[in-house]
Amino acid sequence: MARPQDLFPTRLERKLGMFERLDPVVHTPSERLSDGPLSARQVQEFDERGFLFFDSFFSKDEMDGFIKELKDYEDDDDLKLSEGTILEPGKEEIRSIFGIHDISERFDRLTRDAHLLNIVRQLLDSEVYIHQSRINYKPGFKGKGFNWHSDFETWHSEDGMPRMRSLSCSIVMTDNNEFNGPLMLIPGSQKYFIPCVGRTPEDNYKESLKSQDLGVPDAASLTRLMDENAIEAPKGPPGSLIIFECNTLHGSNVNMSCWPRSNLFFVYNSVHNTLEEPYCGNKPRPEFLANRKNLEPLKPVSNP
């Protein structure tokens, strides 16, 4: 059977202009928008801006155990040798740990926190599973940045995610302030898909997770969206939460402060949006980056 037409062509040899997204941002029908923890105003904000920020969504007491475990990982030499652990270019500092919910029972339970999971299901109007989980570290003075990108562009091209029906939850693990490279987002950018230029090499992830060059939108498109919508960088203490749509453009600067910045990311995907063959034509990326096996809907738990 012939593969359906690629609705989001990218990683091409010639440049295509950005175009309006084909999928809704909020998937729940209007008559059921109140079926969940978010208010109508919050749902509308997510629809219009592509993200929501909750200061201290989890309390400090709730986060203390996670933060201690996070510090233990930084000194775990065996973990640094794992395929799912990405080190800073040319250094021994950890940049990212992928598959954190598979490593830690504590973090696995957190993916199923009832309040968090019910928000996700309200926005996606679907049962969900974890597509990817990770911790991004930025040690003081040494942590590098992440270039502007849409997660969906990568997940579509390199993982075969067919449609825009997923989102990320970023939980602040250490204070995020204006000096230590907080997550930056372009409000409203989720409304457009920007095709990127350049053939994707095999095993591109081995380089792109350290320094991303492919899948970065062109400067003209970024300039237009920034001029129209500006840039925002939500900041807050441990336990704060940023929920952002899979196509919202985001990135972060280097950490020029002495204060480390660590954020936890859970990527939730609809069970109706499971992965196909990568649209770039390469073999699928490893499971720690793109879950294809454990697709059972998550069941909510209390007191993670």
Give the amino acid at 43: V
User: Given a cut of 90, is residue 88 above it in pLDDT?
Assistant: no
Question: Which of 204, 218, 207, 212 lies closest to 280 in space, CA to CA?
Answer: 204
Determine the pLDDT at residue 15.
87
Question: Which of 98, 104, 70, 93 lies closest to 83 in space, CA to CA?
Answer: 98
**179-216 pLDDT per residue, tens:** 999 999 999 999 999 999 999 999 888 888 777 888 99
Q: Which residue has the higher pLDDT, 80 or 176?
A: 176
3-state secondary structure 25-44: CCCCCHHHCCCCCCCHHHHH
CB atoms within 10 A of CB 107: 22
Burial class (CB in 10 A: 0-12, 13-18, 19+), 69: middle
Give the highest mean pLDDT range of 54-63, 89-98, 181-190.
181-190
Give the amino acid at 226: M
Name residues whose C-beta falls within 8 Å of residue 22's C-beta, 6 or more positions apart in sequence.
7, 8, 163, 164, 193
CA dihedral 143, 147, 148, 153 (to 10 degrees): -120
Name residues whose C-beta falls within 8 Å of residue 116's C-beta, 6 or more positions apart in sequence.
57, 110, 169, 241, 266
Q: How far apart are the C-alpha atoms of 212 and 249, rounded to whole Å?
A: 14
- Give the least confident one: 5-14, 89-98, 166-175: 89-98
Task: Give the pLDDT mean for 103-118.
Answer: 95
**245-258 pLDDT per residue, tens:** 999 999 999 999 99
Q: Which residues in 182-193 are b (16+ Cβ under 10 Å) and which e?
A: bbbbbbbbbbbb
Q: How confident is the model at residue 1 (pLDDT cuts 50, 70, 90)?
A: low
Task: Give the pLDDT mean for 211-235.
Answer: 94
Q: Which residue has the higher pLDDT, 139 or 130?
A: 130
Task: Give the pLDDT mean for 225-247.
Answer: 97
User: Given a cut of 90, is residue 17 above it in pLDDT?
Assistant: yes
Task: Give the pLDDT mean for 36-50.
Answer: 96
Cα four-point dihedral sign 280, 150, 243, 180: positive
User: Given a cut of 60, is residue 133 above it in pLDDT?
Assistant: yes
Q: Which residue has the higher pLDDT, 249 or 77?
A: 249
How far apart, in Å, do the first and last CA atoms of the chain sit?
A: 44
